[in-house]
Amino acid sequence: MTTQSPPPSRASAQLSNTKTTVEFRVALAAMAIVALLPLGVGNAYWLGVLIVSMYFAILAGGWNLLAGYAGQFSLAPATFAMIGAYTTGLLNHYYGVPPLLGIVAAIVVSGLVGLLLGRAVLRLAGPYLALTTLSFAEIMRLVAANSIDITRGDLGLGVAGLLDSRVGWYYLFLGALTVLLVLFYLLLRSKAGLFLQAIRDDEVAARRAGVDVVFWKTAAFALSAAASGFAGALYAHFAELVTPELGLIAQTGLILSMVVIGGMGTLAGPIIAAFLVYVLSEWLRDVGGYQLVVFAALVVIFARFFREGLWGLAMAAVRRWRQA
Amino acid sequence: MSGIDVDLAVNGLITGLFYALMAIGLSLIFGILKIVNFAHGEFYMVGAYAYTLIALALGVPVWVALPLAFVVGAALGWLTERTLMRPLYAGYTSWGLMRDEYAVIVTFGLSLFLINLVDKVIGPYAYRGPPLVETSRIVLGPVLISGHRLLAAGIAIAVIAITAALIKWSFWGQQIRAVSQNRLGASLAGIDTAKASAIVFMLSGGLAAFAGALLSPVINASPDVGVFPAIKSYIIVVLGGMGSVPGAIIASLALGVIESFGAVYLSYQYRDAFGLILLMLFLLFRPQGLFGEKGREV
């Protein structure tokens, strides 16, 4: 019962920066490995699996910024991916807007919706915040699924593709993920990162210390939503189809499990875990389809016993190895 | 009020009774631990399966299978409390900061786990539970209702009344309310708060499972059958004031009626959205609900 250490909080600026830098380097190394994978993986199916892993890695990274760093436990990350996907999807389907422009519009629209949601839920925390964002997610999904005249409902909306080659898509997603990783790193290394973590650790104290809590909480919502919307828009053109299923609560569950298993509030953990979880789940699907049972159990076990996730376990192992 | 309105009102109230069976437990859990149990719908799902499988596979009479479903739900509730909820109040003061997040993660994870486990072990197909009575539709003036639904509504009223009475007057009920009001104060007065939490989870799991069992001939048990009832009960506890049992009962009946009329007069497709919009509006503008006391934690 007492094996757990408290979450990494109130770290000094120096310490926090070194920690984030180590995480950033490990994440970059992981991206480098991912960049080399197509040399060995010629199979289009597994390339597709890795592309979807990167889609989830962006979502997990974006949600981790909001939930792990800023402590705002929203249950709507998948919804913003859906909003992003429908933004570019509808623009493309009805007005023939080219995908690249549509993707930019998706980032803006989902970021704005995130901003509004963040603004609306400013005073809410804990279970109240979780419930409000969950209802927001369900309302959005119901609207998308039932506005059949516009979105074609569950049938899905066909949208234009962007690239012909799968390897091209692979590197596009990888580029997007890497750009976001760098952006998050720069953000977290700056004062903003400290402000967000201060709000997470003690909102009242942060306000007393002069942190503009309203601004930074709203900003965290908007940034996280924009990242999700970006991922959703890319995915829309990759799959050439947009459906309300992108916003299912189960999708949010998958994102949440990646972040929890990887280690909430660490830069590298959730992104690496997104690959592990998704690739492993595809493999488990072949072996008997127990993937969701396994991951749900892992989420509960990690939350209960290993609160710092795989990243925390790895760091503890490194420390022990150095001492020995 | 025309005939169809009476029919809508009565059927809405009956739906509300089943909502209440779910929402009372959720509200009690919020009261005692200040968390939302995101796995509440899965207690309902397990109840529906327990009743259906016990009655069909084991050939047990429905009147025995019904209380057994309650027992299965209560056992699951007890297990959840012992294994996952204890850290919320036993020691662990060092991570009080992430307490709310822990609760959301484990209950959300438990929900996914149970849904997918049942999906793999029992299968994704829907099972129709045996009805309590084999009567076709009964016509009471303008109201059209099936025999099973009428009987189930009667049982629901009885169970709700017994539960409310137990919480109000019984020894354990008073202890539960004391812990909900002030955990530290209650424990200083000699109340076993861990036991009170365990009882709340057993009662809550049992009631939700009972609701699932009662409705299983109508809803057709499938792994994700608990998702929507759970969302309804979130709406209800917010409307009624988180932690308030009378509030939960009144809000349940109100939501049943609102949905019943909304589906006919406003939009059938969006019937599930009305409650969610209410929930958001309430959380944003009146988080203490209709009957909750205003208070803020710092």
DSSP string, B55-103: HHHS---HHHHHHHHHHHHHHHHHHHIIIIIGGGTSS-GGGGGGHHHHH
The label of the residue with tokens 């109000």 reads B168
C-beta atoms of A67 and B101 within 8 A: yes
CA dist A289 and A43 (Å) reads: 21
Q: Is A6 left (phi over 0), alpha (psi -120 to 50) or beta?
A: beta
| pLDDT per position as a tens digit, B225-259 | 888 888 888 888 888 877 788 888 998 998 888 88
More confident residue, B129 or A277: A277
Query: The dihedral of CA B108, B111, B116, B121: what is its sign?
Result: positive
The band of B294, judged by pLDDT with boundaries at 50, 70 and 90, is low
CA dist B33 and B249 (Å) reads: 20
Residues 263-282 of A with CB under 8 A from B: 264
> Which one, of A259, A261, A201, A266, lies nearest residue A22 by Cα?
A266
pLDDT at A1: 38
C-beta atoms of B35 and A1 within 8 A: no
pLDDT at A229: 94
**C-alpha B241: how far from its chain's center?**
15
| Mean pLDDT, rounded, of chain A | 84
More confident residue, B272 or A264: A264
pLDDT at B46: 94
pLDDT at A190: 85
Token reading at A161: 């593709």
With contacts defined as CB-CB under 8 Å, which chain A residues touch B109?
253, 256-257, 260, 296-297, 299-300, 303
Q: Is B131 left (phi over 0), alpha (psi -120 to 50) or beta?
A: beta
More confident residue, B243 or B45: B45
Residue spans of beta strands (DSSP E) within chain A: 157-158, 241-242
Instruction: Determine the residue of chain B that is closest to A265 in CA distance.
Output: B98
C-beta atoms of B94 and A6 within 8 A: yes
3-state secondary structure of A241: strand
Residue A241 in contact with residue A156, Cβ under 8 Å?
yes
* DSSP-assigned letters across all residues of A125-152: -HHHHHHHHHHHHHHHHHHHHH-HHHH-
Task: Give yes or no for A7 touching B (CB within 8 A).
Answer: yes
| pLDDT per position as a tens digit, B105-146 | 889 899 989 998 988 888 888 888 787 777 677 777 777 777
Task: Give yes or no for A42 touching B (CB within 8 A).
Answer: no
Nearest CA to CA, how far is B278 from chain A (Å)?
A: 10
Mutate to test the interface with B, among A2, A64, A132, A148 (most CBs of B within 10 A): A132
DSSP A242: E
3-state secondary structure of A158: strand
Mean pLDDT score, A275-298: 83
**C-alpha B216: how far from its chain's center?**
15
Instruction: Determine the residue of chain B that is closest to A204 in CA distance.
Output: B298
Mean pLDDT score, B57-71: 88
The band of B98, judged by pLDDT with boundaries at 50, 70 and 90, is low
> Which one, of B100, B101, B81, lies nearest residue B34 by Cα?
B100
Mean pLDDT score, B181-199: 85
ipTM greater than 0.85: no
Residue of A130, A250, A293 lying closest to B113 (CB–CB): A293
Instruction: Determine the residue of chain A that is closest to B269 in CA distance.
Output: A146
CA dist B91 and B87 (Å) reads: 7
3-state secondary structure of B221: strand
With contacts defined as CB-CB under 8 Å, which chain A residues touch B36?
127, 130-131
Nearest CA to CA, how far is B90 from chain A (Å)?
A: 9
Residue B95 in contact with residue A4, Cβ under 8 Å?
yes
C-beta atoms of B104 and A257 within 8 A: no
* DSSP-assigned letters across all residues of B120-182: HHT-SS-BPPPPSS---EEEETTEEEEHHHHHHHHHHHHHHHHHHHHHHHSHHHHHHHHHHH-
Backbone torsions φ then ψ of B98, nearest 5 degrees: -100, 20
Mean pLDDT score, A313-320: 87
Mutate to test the interface with B, among A293, A295, A305, A308 (most CBs of B within 10 A): A293
Token reading at A219: 């900003």
C-beta atoms of B276 and A138 within 8 A: yes
Which segment of A23-27, A61-65, A151-155 scores lowest on mean pLDDT? Answer: A151-155
With contacts defined as CB-CB under 8 Å, which chain A residues touch B272?
138, 142
CA-to-CA dists, residue B159 to A46, B20, B24, B154, angstroms: 54, 10, 11, 9
pLDDT at A2: 41
Residue A198 in contact with residue A215, Cβ under 8 Å?
no
Residues in chain B: 298
| pLDDT per position as a tens digit, A79-127 | 999 999 999 988 988 888 888 888 899 999 999 999 998 888 888 877 8
Query: The dihedral of CA B268, B273, B275, B277: what is its sign?
Result: negative
Nearest CA to CA, how far is A165 from chain B (Å)?
A: 35
Instruction: Flag whether pLDDT at B38 surpasses 70.
Output: yes
3-state secondary structure of A264: coil
With contacts defined as CB-CB under 8 Å, which chain A residues touch B273?
138-139, 142-143
pLDDT at B90: 67
More confident residue, B70 or B181: B70
Instruction: Determine the residue of chain B that is closest to A300 in CA distance.
Output: B106
The band of A4, judged by pLDDT with boundaries at 50, 70 and 90, is very low
More confident residue, A81 or B98: A81
Instruction: Flag whether pLDDT at A139 surpasses 70.
Output: yes
Which of A29-38, A52-61, A64-73, B218-227 has the highest average model confidence (pLDDT)? A52-61
Amino acid at B111: S
The band of B297, judged by pLDDT with boundaries at 50, 70 and 90, is very low
CA dist A68 and A124 (Å) reads: 17
With contacts defined as CB-CB under 8 Å, which chain A residues touch B276?
135, 138-139, 142
Nearest CA to CA, how far is A41 from chain B (Å)?
A: 30
| pLDDT per position as a tens digit, A43-68 | 878 888 888 999 999 999 999 999 88
pLDDT at B1: 60
Task: Give yes or no for A299 touching B (CB within 8 A).
Answer: yes
pLDDT at A5: 46
CA dist B251 and B119 (Å) reads: 32
Mutate to test the interface with A, among B27, B36, B108, B277 (most CBs of A within 10 A): B108
Residue of B30, B270, B298 lying closest to A146 (CB–CB): B270
Neighbours of B140 (CB within 10 A): 11
Neighbours of B295 (CB within 10 A): 7
